[in-house]
Amino acid sequence: MIVLDTNVVSELMRPVPNPAVLAWVDAQSDRDLWLCSVVVSELLYGLARLPSGARRLQLTQAFEAMLAEDFAGRVLAFDLPAAVVYADLVAAREQLGQPLAMADAQIAATCLAHGARLATRNTRHFEGLGLVWLNPWQA
């Protein structure tokens, strides 16, 4: 199971996605690629911040179609096991003087709680968390 981070999904929604990312996604089994609820919320927030108009409408419709068609039944929730992992991660990083952004910590906790790997370009955000991550831009 591989959870796609926000930056991977955003890249896939670009008019001309990075060829390395496309090749990496194409090489994966569809049933292995997942989203998590925190990534979905970040993407919906980003879309909601766009000015009203054709671009916002087109991107929103594309994302809704992606959720319904490409990720139906494959969105991990930030659930109780993830919340427990989150608390431990955030506390440990604070004690080290290396705080985590809330969304990154929730994404990492969701992956760890469910035994998933994370596909992201922002690998430095997830270093030292015990999380297995992949960078589709460098695959």
Lowest mean pLDDT among 4-8, 39-43, 53-57: 53-57
Residue percentage of the chain with pLDDT more than 90: 96
Q: How far is CA 137 from the centre of its chain?
A: 15
The pTM (predicted TM-score) of the whole model is 0.93
Mean pLDDT on 6-16: 95
Say if residue 56's pLDDT is above 90: yes
- At 97 the three-state DSSP class reads coil
Give me the DSSP letters along 6-42: HHHHHHHTSSS--HHHHHHHHHS-GGGEEEEHHHHHH
Q: Which residues contact 75 (CB under 8 A, 6 or more apart)?
A: 34, 35, 36, 37, 40, 67
Mean pLDDT on 44-60: 95
Find out whether 2 and 119 touch, Cβ atoms under 8 Å.
yes
Q: What was the pLDDT predicted at 79?
A: 98
80-113 pLDDT per residue, tens? 999 999 999 999 999 999 999 999 999 999 999 9
Residue 27: HSE in the Cβ half-sphere, 13 Å Cα cutoff:
8
What is the CATH code for 2-138?
Answer: 3.40.50.1010
Find out whether 77 and 37 touch, Cβ atoms under 8 Å.
yes
Q: What was the pLDDT predicted at 10?
A: 96
Residue 139 binned pLDDT confidence (cut-offs 50, 70, 90)? confident
